[in-house]
Amino acid sequence: MISPSSTNDTVTDAGDYIFRACYKDSFQGQVTAKFAVETLGAKKAAILYDITNDYSKGLTQNFTDKFKALGGEIVVAESYSTGDKDFNAQLTKIKAANPDVIFIPDYYSTVSLIAKQVRNQGMTMPMIGADGWDEITNNAGDEVLDCYYSNHYSPDADDQDVITFVQKYKEKFNVTPNALAALGYDATYILAEAIERAGSTDPAKVKEAMFETDRKFVTGNIKFDKDGNPVKSAVMLKIVKGSDGKLTTEYAGTVNP
């Protein structure tokens, strides 16, 4: 089995025949913390996370560990539960702590609600998140301008593999491919090439061939560790306005493992 997009750290622990094309949440949490400290110059961070969601909790823990290791301080960490709509009580505490950045490890639908309430309280610091933010530019307004999130690739990267993939995808579907599309594309090629190398569909032979994977794909160069997790880089994206006035993203940096 190869999953394009299961980022939870424990996925590949379930068996010896499980791989993924995406990086793990533990790496993603570290990426965002490193970016906050080294690129944004943040010394104090606040976290607002979903305490009932493993994705959100895992990212929170890994962001916290890395941010502290880099000399930063988590000045406040507030939580909510899946389905909550009003975050003002938590945000009042965050505002009082005066952080340099707010880390919000959740999916774009919830982040869109939170971002409006952050700005309505008069807070102007950047918000940062992870790959769950992908598609936020189609679901939020100016409140997320100049905010950042980690992702698996940048559709506007100056890379021939990416350029060709985006061009062909747009021709077929008339939309820009998001990270899940790129990961699904890569996962298909990873598996197909392993089957070709193995010259067989025998599971043991295919598994052995999967571990021989080591080349550049759309979402970066991919090879696997002993657990079936890819050793690959992550990109940081900044939310900006395009020439048409609509929200879009621009490449803000690459963080290597």
- Give the CATH number of the domain where residue 211 resides: 3.40.50.2300
pLDDT surpassing 80 at residue 59 = yes
Q: What is the dihedral of CA 249, 187, 52, 132, to 10 degrees?
A: 0
The answer to whether the predicted template modeling score (pTM) of the entire model surpasses 0.85 is: yes
Which residues, other chains included, contact 155 with Cβ-Cβ below 8 Å and sequence gap of 6+? Answer: 162, 166, 176, 177, 178, 182, 249
* Helix segments in 70-150, DSSP class H: 88-97, 108-120
Structure tokens at 211: 């571990």
pLDDT, tens only, 6-29: 999 999 999 999 999 999 988 999
pLDDT surpassing 90 at residue 36 = yes
What pLDDT is attached to residue 256? 78
- Name the pLDDT band for 219 (thresholds 50, 70, 90): very high
The arithmetic mean of pLDDT across residues 59-71, rounded, is 97
Residues 121 and 164 in one domain: no
Question: CA-to-CA distance for 95 and 207, rounded, in angstroms?
Answer: 50
pLDDT, tens only, 164-175: 999 999 999 999
pLDDT surpassing 80 at residue 257 = no
Report which of 193, 228, 248 is spatially closest to residue 14, judged by C-alpha positions. Answer: 228
What pLDDT is attached to residue 158? 86
- Tell me whether residue 8 is in a domain: no
Residues spanned by the domain of 116 = 25-151
- Number of domains making up the chain: 2
Residues 222 and 167 in one domain: yes
Residues 146 and 29 in one domain: yes
Residues 143 and 161 in one domain: no
- Name the pLDDT band for 156 (thresholds 50, 70, 90): confident
